[in-house]
Structure 1
Amino acid sequence: MSGQENTPAAAYDLVVVGSGAAGMAAALTAKIGGLDVAIVEKDSHFGGSTAVSGGAIWIPNNPLMRAAGMEEDAEAAFTYLQGEVGNLMDTDLVRRFLKAGPEMVSFFQDNTALQFEHRAVSPDYHPDRPGASMGGRVLDAQTFDGRRLGKEFDRLKPPIGDFTLFGGMMLNRFDIGHFMNMTRKPGSALHALRLLLRHGRDRLRHSRGTRLTLGQAVAGRLALSVLERDIPIFTGQALTALLTDGAGRVTGIQTEAGGQITARCGVVLATGGFPANAEMRAELMPHVAKGAQHFSMSPRPATGGAIGAARAIGAHFIDTNRNAGFWAPVSLIPEGNGATRPFPHLFLDRAKPGVIAVSPKGERFVNEAVSYHDFVSGMTRAGLKEAWLICDHRALRRYGLGPVRPAPAPYRHHLRSGYLKKAATPAELARRINLPPETLNRTIQAFNADAAEGIDRQYGKGSTAYQTYLGDPEHCPNPCLNPLETGPFYAVRIFPGDIGTSMGLATDADARVLREDRSVIDGLYACGNDMNSIMAGTYPGAGITLGPALTFGYLAGRHAAGEG
Structure 2
Amino acid sequence: MTGERAGHLDRERHMQSYDVVVLGSGGAGLVAALAAASKGMTVGVFEKSALIGGTTAISGGGIWIPNNHVMAASGFMDNEADAHIYLDRLTHGETSPDLLRQFVKTGPEMLRFLETHSDLRFFSVDRPDYHPGWAGARNGRSVEPLPFEPGMEAGLFETLRYSTLRQPATSTESRKGLSADIIADRQRRNIRTQGSGLVAGLAQACAKAGVRFHVSNPATGLTFYGQRCTGVETANGCVSAKVGVILATGGFEWNEDMVSAFLPGFTSAPTTPPGNNGDGLRFGLEAGAAIANMTEAWWTAAYRIPGEELDGMPLTRNMVRELALPGSIMVNSRGERFVNEASSYNDLGMSFNIFDPGAFSYINRPAWLIFDNAFKNRYAVASIPPTQPAPNWMHTAASLTELANKLSISAEGLRATIDRFNGYALDGHDQDFSRGEDVHGLYYGDPEITPNPCLGVISEGPFYAVEVAPGNNGTKGGLKTTTHGQVIRHDGSIIGGLYACGNVAASIFGKGYPGHGGSLGPIMTAAYATGMNLGAGGIG
Q: TM-score, normalised by structure 2?
A: 0.92
1:354 corresponds in structure 2 to: 327
1:156 corresponds in structure 2 to: 160
Aligned residue among 138, 142, 145 for 1:141: 145
2:405 corresponds in structure 1 to: 431
Distance 1:22 1:145 in 2: 21
1:237 corresponds in structure 2 to: 217
Identity of aligned residues (%): 34
Distance 1:279 1:533 in 2: 21
Counterpart code for 1:316: A
Does 2:15 align with 1:17?
A: no
Aligned residue among 37, 41, 47 for 2:47: 41
Q: Deviation of residue 56 (structure 1)?
A: 0.7
User: How has the CA–CA distance of structure 1 residues 552 and 336 changed in structure 2, closer, same or farther, with 3 Å as cutoff?
Assistant: closer
User: How has the CA–CA distance of structure 1 residues 394 and 466 changed in structure 2, closer, same or farther, with 3 Å as cutoff?
Assistant: same
Q: Deviation of residue 199 (structure 1)?
A: 5.9
Check whether the contact 2:147–2:169 (CA below 8 A) recurs between aligned residues: no
Distance 2:398 2:527 in 1: 53
Distance 2:157 2:211 in 1: 16
Counterpart code for 1:173: S
Following TM superposition, the consecutive aligned residue runs of length 4 or more in structure 1 with deviations greater than 6 angstroms are none
1:207 corresponds in structure 2 to: none
1:394 corresponds in structure 2 to: 374
Does 2:247 align with 1:269?
A: yes
Check whether the contact 1:330–1:342 (CA below 8 A) recurs between aligned residues: no
User: How has the CA–CA distance of structure 1 residues 471 and 335 changed in structure 2, closer, same or farther, with 3 Å as cutoff?
Assistant: same
Aligned residue among 460, 468, 481 for 1:507: 481
Counterpart code for 1:87: G
Q: Deviation of residue 431 (structure 1)?
A: 2.0
Counterpart code for 2:44: A
Q: Runs of 5+ in structure 1 lacking a partner?
A: 180-190, 203-209
Aligned residue among 454, 460, 466 for 2:440: 466
What is the CA deviation profile of residues 8-39 of structure 1, one whole-angstrom value per residue up to 9, with x for unaligned ones?
75111100111111111111111110111110
Does 2:507 align with 1:529?
A: no
Q: Greater CA deviation, 464-473 or 191-200?
A: 191-200
Distance 1:241 1:148 in 2: 31
Counterpart code for 1:171: A
Counterpart code for 1:251: T
2:179 corresponds in structure 1 to: 192
Distance 1:198 1:332 in 2: 30
1:1-400 alignment to 2 at 5 Å? Answer: 1-2=1-2, 5-7=10-12, 10-119=16-125, 121-133=126-138, 135-146=139-150, 148=152, 150-159=154-163, 161=164, 163-164=165-166, 169-179=167-177, 191-198=178-185, 201=188, 210-246=190-226, 248-257=227-236, 259-288=237-266, 293-318=267-292, 320=293, 323-335=295-307, 341-381=314-354, 383=362, 384-400=364-380
Distance 1:154 1:305 in 2: 25
Q: Deviation of residue 483 (structure 1)?
A: 0.6
Distance 1:425 1:192 in 2: 38
Counterpart code for 1:236: S
Check whether the contact 1:326–1:498 (CA below 8 A) recurs between aligned residues: yes
Q: Deviation of residue 375 (structure 1)?
A: 1.5
Check whether the contact 1:94–1:534 (CA below 8 A) recurs between aligned residues: yes
Distance 1:311 1:439 in 2: 47
User: How has the CA–CA distance of structure 1 residues 141 and 273 changed in structure 2, closer, same or farther, with 3 Å as cutoff?
Assistant: same
Q: Deviation of residue 472 (structure 1)?
A: 1.2
Counterpart code for 2:443: Y
SS at match of 1:241: strand
Q: Runs of 5+ in structure 2 lacking a partner?
A: 4-8, 356-361
Check whether the contact 1:451–1:481 (CA below 8 A) recurs between aligned residues: yes
1:549-560 alignment to 2 at 5 Å? Answer: 549-560=523-534
Distance 2:389 2:157 in 1: 32
Q: Deviation of residue 336 (structure 1)?
A: 8.1
Q: Greater CA deviation, 43-52 or 473-482?
A: 473-482
1:472-487 alignment to 2 at 5 Å? Answer: 472-487=446-461
Check whether the contact 2:169–2:183 (CA below 8 A) recurs between aligned residues: no
Matched length: 523
What is the CA deviation profile of residues 180-219 of structure 1, one whole-angstrom value per residue up to 9, with x for unaligned ones?
xxxxxxxxxxx423234326746xxxxxxx2311110111
1:497 corresponds in structure 2 to: 471
Structure richer in helix, relative to its length: 1
Distance 2:78 2:459 in 1: 44
Distance 1:482 1:59 in 2: 35
Counterpart code for 1:270: A
Q: Deviation of residue 122 (structure 1)?
A: 1.3
Distance 2:322 2:54 in 1: 26
Counterpart code for 2:220: T
Check whether the contact 1:461–1:467 (CA below 8 A) recurs between aligned residues: yes
Counterpart code for 1:136: G
Check whether the contact 2:368–2:468 (CA below 8 A) recurs between aligned residues: yes
Distance 1:201 1:529 in 2: 34
SS at match of 1:212: coil
Q: Deviation of residue 149 (structure 1)?
A: 5.1
Counterpart code for 2:457: P
What is the CA deviation profile of residues 328-366 of structure 1, one whole-angstrom value per residue up to 9, with x for unaligned ones?
1121211189x9834333432111100100101211111
Q: Deviation of residue 461 (structure 1)?
A: 1.0
User: How has the CA–CA distance of structure 1 residues 224 and 239 changed in structure 2, closer, same or farther, with 3 Å as cutoff?
Assistant: same
Q: TM-score, normalised by structure 1?
A: 0.89
SS at match of 1:440: helix
Check whether the contact 2:45–2:212 (CA below 8 A) recurs between aligned residues: yes
Counterpart code for 1:549: I
Counterpart code for 1:233: F
Distance 2:346 2:308 in 1: 30
User: How has the CA–CA distance of structure 1 residues 493 and 99 changed in structure 2, closer, same or farther, with 3 Å as cutoff?
Assistant: same
SS at match of 1:330: strand
SS at match of 2:283: helix
Q: Greater CA deviation, 419-428 or 23-32?
A: 419-428
Q: Deviation of residue 99 (structure 1)?
A: 0.4
Counterpart code for 1:451: A
Q: Greater CA deviation, 500-509 or 464-473?
A: 464-473
